[in-house]
Structures are given as structure tokens and as C-alpha cells.
Structure 1
């Protein structure tokens, strides 16, 4: 079966950020004096291959664990060494024990970006043994070769190629540039690729290159496949306008479009995500803020030499800024914690300010290539090592659950540590949800979701404190009963305190929700229909009409999280599509604004975000004490409040005169002339919901438009109170 990479699920994510450099780490130089190193790979016997931009590949004469390490020529791969071109990547075949192949990605003299294999002969490889696996068409640009690669468990290969310094290539689905490709070892596209079909040739029936797995990439220079989760993370170098540019890490998912150039220097929200929902947001992103940057991502640490807290964390560097940072992902692939891992300027030694590759190596340590070591400006291979401190030694830290459905998830934590001083370790658990810390080797904590959280364990002795674990906990979205009550002013009957159900009595309420045709498509898509018998009830529980319930982002209520169609009863209760049962919605976040919409009434929204961390949410919009967003958002009807009617054009306002006014919509609905004409049916201009549109006479719809704007000044306008 082909590997299927994880999709991100939108959740409220609580991210812990740390800026302090962790103690106990140091950098050692394995080999130096290298001319512009761009790629490295470790052979199974512990020796290292180091590739230079000019095509020279060198091999260590001994395993990297056996100092001193010296390098000798392994082979010379012919390259185009101009501008950013040259040798970009080296990898060891996953079947090296039987095929002895080394993979090389480079720019050739024929101006193609090529992935080839060469036969390993012990201490060298022969150029004549080259087998071309896959290559691009002839490039014309100076830069952006890409180079992120992964071998998938199904034996296919992922290779990311840059846009050839031509941004439009990234969105041209017939172009190989600016894409992540997936192909077999013969270069052909697997049939389960997102754009593959049976059409002969490299393009599918729609003219899309069949090898494309993802699109919209600028310069995807480095990538890493986590063997435990199957996530392939791609570090994509950002643009050159340092006022606007961003550096990104993308999570590869089949068919994803990462948006370049439309989500690049422009097309971004303040947090770096794409403002067009058609594009897949970066998993990690940071802005240039006027300074140079070039991400080198990265590697997921799965070794045993570092304290357990580092296991599973993703590390990425920056070619310009000289640091390595880390990010911790939860079970769904969302970032829940991040921080600084290494700033080479703090070590006092040679600064590696041009990190070209970061990779796991023999012995469970991380290695990186320094393109230029100061002050000599020659490259080097570096190793990041950890030396245990005098603090407690962590043995284990576990949670019985790391993933579960909310609203509440109770997790039991257990830990074990050894104090080298012979004392009793002190265990302190802290929670990213802001609740008080707990102490003890065994504790419980209840998280309220949905959301992603971190449980961090610190163990102390008389001399020192050790951070033992940082455990991600994900509370999945849960179903909640929506006890929402509201009244529509159009059909409201003051003496009863209810609404009339004339549309139901006349059989005019449609079986399918009407809002998709009005441009208000529910989140689940158009076409939701009534359950048979939904309109059979009479009395206070009779159905008045279709409505919409919306959940909006707590911080930015212009952002829609969910929109669900529902039915409204005469007594004001919102119910599901069977006309009786409570409406059930899934909580997309811990907090959200709740808004209600009707097709010819002004929408209404809660003034503050409501806590969705519950199995039942109650909101009574009839109650005058319920705070609603905006100014005068409801009509006062004695002790009750109603939604303003008269929005016959569904344009977010009610007006009596002027362009697009609602009075004219009533007149148009009856045919324009004579004004005494009447139209019947389920009509947008029927603002009192009696099944008829009338311009004059008793219970006409025009008068309700006038009442909503104040009843005195015909030029007045009432605006819908939504952000």
C-alpha cells in the first residue's frame, strides 16, 4: 500500500515557545576545510559522504565515530556549477545492502536537474555507473533547484524541485518546476498519484504532469521523512523582499497546493497562513522582518543520545541566521511547542552561519554542514553532542492517553527518574492550559478541548533541574447539543410570544436548505434535506423556517469555523432537520462566537466568544440580558427580543430608498405594477413569512421594511451587526 501522509485537522492549538538554549549541548567539528559543502549522507558502516557544490564527492576514510576523520575523493559528478546550481543532495539507497547504490541530485551540464544513482565500490564510485532515475526539462533560470527527497515505504520516491526562478511555474501543472514529485525508480508516475490517469504519456487527460504530488513551491531545498509518523516535512526557502518574505515548512499531503507565488510575499494573513483557503497553509512559518533568511529543514530526531524530551521533535536551521530551532508536533501534525535549540554564536567557537544540511547520523546525534566557517570561510561537518548534567536522570515519562474526544479528557501521567546524588527526585508537571502545576511521580490532569496541549515534566534534585519530557495531548473535537433560542420579527406574534408557522401550513417550506443558492453554503456542503415528517408537528413546536447557525473564530469573528443548517420552531427553539431533536454540532475550537442567520432577517452574533468545552451549549437570543455584538442588533418586543426583518435583498442591511433597497425588492417580487398585486410562494421578499409578498394592504411586507429602519426617516438604513 502506498504511504498516505497525515492531513492537518484545524484545532485551537496552544503553542509553548521557549527562547532559552537548552543546557548540556555542544558542537564538535568532525571534518573541516571543505569547499562549499552542500550535501551529506552516512553509509551503513558509519563512514560519511560529503558532496561539494562543484560536484566533488568525498568519503571519510574511517567512521565518523573514530577520530580523527579525514576525507578523500569518492567521485566527481559532472555539474553545472553556475549561480545556485551544482550538486544539491546525496542519499543512500534504502536497499543498499543488496544494491550498493548512492543517489545524487544535481544540476547537469545539459541544464537539467537530475536524480541519478551511482554504484558504490567501497572507497569510491564510478561516474560511468550512472543510471538516470528522473530529471526535469531544460531549466533557464539561475536558481531554485529544490532538493528535498524521501524514500517511501512503498518503494516510490518523493523529490521536490524548485520553480527555476520563475514563480509562474509553481502553478503551471504541466511544468515540472515548483512541484513535489512522486515516481517509481524508473521515473514513471504511480497510478495512485493525485493527478495520474490512464492517458498515455507524461500528462493526464487534463494536461497535468502525472508525477506531481504537490504544487505551489518556490525553493524546497531540504526535506525529511519521519519513519514513525510518515510525515514528510519540506523546508521551503522564501523570497527576496525581506520586508514581506516568509520562510516555510510544509507538510506534504496528496494534491496539496502550497500557494507560491500567490501565498508568498503577499497573500498572507498576519500569522503567515495563506489568505486564500484554496491553498494549504505552512506547518511552520516565520517572517524575514527586514532581515535575510533561508530555511534549512530539517530532521525529526529519533535517536537515544539526547534526553527523552527531544525524541520526536522536528529540527530546522537557517542558512543565513546561524541557528537551529525545534518544533514538537501532536498526533494530528499540528505544532504544539517550539523553541531555540542551538545558536552557534553562544558556543564561543567557530560560528556556523551557513547551515546547508541538518541530518541524523550514527550514534544518535544530529549533524550539520557549515557552508562557511568563520574566519577561514571554508566548510565543515559538525556534530551536536549532549553531555549529561548533575541533575536527575530521566528514565521514563508516559501518558496513558495522548489523543481522545472531548470536551474533557482526563490523562494519567507516570514518570521515573534517578538522582545521581542519592536523593529523592522532585517531580513537577506543568500544563499549557494554564491550570496549576502538579507534583508527584504519578498525577492526573483533565484537559478541556478541543485543542492541543503540552504536559511538561521537570525533575529536580538538590543541585539541578532536568526537563524530562514534553508530552503533546490532543483533545479532539466533540459533539455538543446546541440549545439556541431566537425569534424572527417578521412572523412574530406579540400576544403569544411565539412566531406564526404559515409557511409550514401552506406547504411552502422546501425540503432542501435554501441557503446554498443564496451564497451561504453550509460547511458540510449544499443539499441538506429535511427528515421525513419534520414538518408534521403543530402548536408551539411547529417549524417556522430554515435558519443557519454559525461558529466564528474567537479572536477574529470574521473567520467562519462552521455553518450548519437547522430548523426554527414557533417557540423559538432551534432544532435539527427532523424538526424535533436538538441540533448537534461539532466543536471546532475551545471558544467561538455563535451567530444566527435567516434569509431575510438581519443576522445576529454573541458579543463574546462562548465556551465550547461542554456537551451542551445554551444561548437564548430572545433574552434582553443576552449580550449581542454591535449596536441595537435586535428589536425590542416587550420582554423579548427579535431579529430585525426586512433584508429582502440579503445584502447585510435594510433600506427603504436608494440603490438596492428592500422596498423595491418587495415591489419587484409582485411584478412591479399594480402595487396591489400579490405573489405567493417561498419568496425572499416575504419578510413576514406568511407565504405572500404584498406591497400594500394589511400585513404587507413594505411596512415591515419601514419599521425596521425606524419608521420615520425613509432614508435611514439599518446595518447588520456582524463583524
Structure 2
């Protein structure tokens, strides 16, 4: 009997709870769950970045700009599958012209209900490298009489990059009879400006970048880092601020958007150096400071921006004005910004939804037409599109 009890005791001890073994099992279970949780969180972060839900800190608007979040309005896609569309301009018959950075000019026929894309030119001498290439397009105010279309693009001459403005005739859905209107604009792989528009005075305005030569923006003999103003044949208006020169304003780093308000005032968007992007009210003959001052830095002989982004980066591009609202596209900001030129309130829409935004124009129907720029080597590659936005819902 005693032996039996001893055997039972030994059996119980052999099957009793072992603290070390239990802890080891708990540790293994914890590590398995931790690895699963880590994999899940990494996958979730990747999906969030792809969907544009994660936003780096530097992409937030600087507090000095006081942006206000707004409910996204109605938006539709006009066309998709473009290749880095850069600029838009409407013809009098309501068809839409589009430039692509690599050198194509497209006409989007909007007459038949469903948009039809036609290639009306391929500019073979375009040098499309980094930010350079075919950029601006403008329709002459008297297009119905002369059929003139203007292009701004980069090309190579004697081993150097140069920008120029060329006038064409649009006949039978083809650009013909090219004529150089303005040449010898300093160019580079980046900082090429490129926006061209006819102003309410009938003259052609041209934005140029500093072409990576910052001091050129302050050089009155250089066409780089300026806003230029010329007649439709390339000659100089008699009332330009500097006699015999196309320079209208200077001290610009890389202005890519211009628009006029109902009072005839000229506004521009300008890229800062990694931050301090600007909205400027342009006055003839004035110095806008680059590279001497930037952002809120002030000098009595230089103009300060009406709005600047602080340490954030919008990379503001195309601009359009309806009433008292300036609409401008954000490349790095990946949003459409709406700035009230009277109250200086700033709102942003579609942040991250469509990627990088570049051109903004007002169509004959009063709607905003906006291009994406998602295949330009920056940001997350996505299809390039033309968006149609109802500004009344912004």
C-alpha cells in the first residue's frame, strides 16, 4: 500500500505544472502573435500610402497659411491615359488644346458629346528631360481671324538647353507655319517656368524660371527668373517697365501660374526652395526678391508675397480666377487650393485623391479643368487625367 502511494506521488510530480515550460510556451505564443501583428501593420501602412491616406508632415500646410479643411465637391474625369499633360487652353468652338511634356499637342473634340482626342502636332525638337520639355500653350484672342496658337518649350542648341516661344497656325487640325516669337530664354533640367497666357490687354505674358542659376533672376539682361510681356509678333510693348525689354517683373525662382482678377490685377504662383512657396500680386517693374529674400523675409526695395507656405511645400502650378477666388494646383501638395484674394482665406480640396495637380483653367461652361501630373518622375505613378470640377461646390 505504501509503495502504491509512492508511485502515485511520483506520477503526480511528473505531470505537475512546470513554470519554466509554461513561460516558454507563453513567450512563443506572444512572438508568433507579435510577428503577425507587425506584418499586418506594415501591410496596412503600404496600402495607406498607395491610397494617399498617409501624408508626410512636411506636406501639411504651414500654420501661417491657416488652411481650412473642406468637404470634397463633385468632380468628374474628362479623359484619362495622357502622358504628363502640362497646359490647357480652350478654342472659341469650345474644343480643348492640351500639351504633353514629351512634345505632343492634343485637341480634345468636345462637340460630339463623348470626348475625342486628336494629335495635332508632335514637336520633334522638344528636349524633355526632368522638368523641361513642352509646357505652355496659348490661343490668340483673335483666333477666329488668324488661327494662331503659341507654344513654349525647351530644346537643345549647341549642347545647351534653351526655351523659346513659337507661334503656329492651326489649320485642318494640324499646327503649321511655325514662327519663333521669342528665343534665348535660359533653360535647364529644372526651373523652366513655362506658363504663357494672353492678358486682358491683349499682350502675351510668359513665366520663366531661374534655370538653376539663382542670380539670373536679378540680372536685368537675362530672361530667366522673370515674367515677360510681349506683343503677339514678339515685339516689345511701348509701356513695358524697362524700355526695349520684354521683362515685366523679376526676382522669380520658378513661377508656373498666372491669372488676372476682374480688376485686371495679375497674380502668380511661384515655387520656393523646398518650402516658402508664394502667391504674388504682380506689379510692373517690381523685384520679387529671389534669391535675396524668400517667404516672409522683407526688404524695402522688394515685394513680399501676399501668401506663402512657410516650411510646407505646395509646389504651386497653374492658376485661374473666378470672382474673388484664386484656384491653384499643387504638385507636391497634391491638392487643389482655393485662395480668397480679398479675405486671404485658404482652402484645399482632393488632397492625395488624384495625385499631383498641374494645370487649372476655367472652361466656357464656367467649370474648372485640371490636369494631373503623375507620370513626370515625381510622386506615385498613376494615370494622368483631365478633371472637371464644379467651382460652385468648392
Provide TM-score, normalisation by structure 2: 0.76
Partner residue, 2:297: 274
Cα distance in 2 between the residues matched to 1:352 and 1:177? 31
Partner residue, 1:299: 320
Deviation at 1:379, TM superposition (A): 0.9
Partner residue, 1:236: 270
Rg: which structure is higher? 1
Cα distance in 1 between the residues matched to 2:237 and 2:328? 30
Q: Which of 312, 315, 318 is 2:324 aligned to? A: 312
Higher relative contact order (CA 8 A, sep 6+): 2
Deviation at 1:376, TM superposition (A): 6.2
1:338 aligns with 2:345: yes
Cα distance in 2 between the residues matched to 1:296 and 1:172? 24
Deviation at 1:123, TM superposition (A): 2.2
Q: Which of 254, 260, 282 is 1:252 aligned to? A: 282
Q: Which of 57, 80, 96 is 1:32 aligned to? A: 80
1:343–1:100 Cα change, 3 Å: same
Provide TM-score, normalisation by structure 1: 0.43
Deviation by residue 1:178-208 (Cα, 9 ceiling, x = unmatched): 1112222232322322221xxxxx6xxxxxx
Q: Where in structure 2 are the equivalents of 1:573-612 lying within 5 Å?
A: none
Partner residue, 1:206: none
Cα distance in 2 between the residues matched to 1:131 and 1:179? 23
Deviation at 1:169, TM superposition (A): 0.4
Whether the 8 Å contact between 1:320 and 1:354 is mirrored in structure 2 is yes
Q: Where in structure 2 are the equivalents of 1:542-691 lying within 5 Å?
A: none
Partner residue, 1:366: 368
Cα distance in 1 between the residues matched to 2:391 and 2:284? 37
Partner residue, 2:49: none
1:337–1:119 Cα change, 3 Å: same
Partner residue, 1:55: 103
Deviation by residue 1:455-478 (Cα, 9 ceiling, x = unmatched): xxxxxxxxxxxx9xxxxxxxxxxx
Deviation at 1:138, TM superposition (A): 5.2
1:79 aligns with 2:79: no
Cα distance in 1 between the residues matched to 2:168 and 2:221? 29
1:45 aligns with 2:93: yes
Q: Where in structure 2 are the equivalents of 1:117-128 lying within 5 Å?
A: 117-126=167-176
Whether the 8 Å contact between 1:17 and 1:337 is mirrored in structure 2 is no
CA RMSD of aligned residues (A): 2.4
Q: Which of 150, 157, 163 is 2:197 aligned to? A: 150
1:28–1:137 Cα change, 3 Å: closer
Whether the 8 Å contact between 2:355 and 2:382 is mirrored in structure 1 is no
Q: Secondary structure at the match of 1:364?
A: coil
Deviation by residue 1:1-43 (Cα, 9 ceiling, x = unmatched): xxxxxxxxxxxxxx995613146x2111100001111111111
- Segments of 5+ residues of structure 2 without an aligned counterpart are 1-63
Cα distance in 2 between the residues matched to 1:48 and 1:354? 21
Q: Which of 209, 231, 235 is 1:188 aligned to? A: 235
Deviation at 1:328, TM superposition (A): 1.7
Q: Where in structure 2 are the equivalents of 1:198-597 lying within 5 Å?
A: 210-226=245-261, 228-240=262-274, 245-264=275-294, 272-289=295-312, 292-301=313-322, 311-330=323-342, 336-345=343-352, 351-372=353-374, 377-385=382-390
Deviation at 1:94, TM superposition (A): 0.6
Cα distance in 2 between the residues matched to 1:384 and 1:154? 28
Whether the 8 Å contact between 2:137 and 2:197 is mirrored in structure 1 is no
Q: Which runs of 4+ in 1 moved over 4 A?
A: 15-18, 373-376
Cα distance in 2 between the residues matched to 1:212 and 1:250? 16
Q: Could you say which structure has the higher helix fraction?
A: 2
Cα distance in 2 between the residues matched to 1:251 and 1:376? 34
1:185–1:385 Cα change, 3 Å: closer
Deviation at 1:137, TM superposition (A): 4.4
Deviation by residue 1:314-370 (Cα, 9 ceiling, x = unmatched): 11121012111212223xxxxx1413241244xxxxx32111111111311011001
Whether the 8 Å contact between 2:186 and 2:211 is mirrored in structure 1 is no
Deviation by residue 1:446-499 (Cα, 9 ceiling, x = unmatched): xxxxxxxxxxxxxxxxxxxxx9xxxxxxxxxxxxxxxxxxxxxxxxxxxxxxxx
Q: Secondary structure at the match of 2:287?
A: coil
1:323–1:376 Cα change, 3 Å: closer
Q: Secondary structure at the match of 1:119?
A: strand
1:215–1:69 Cα change, 3 Å: same
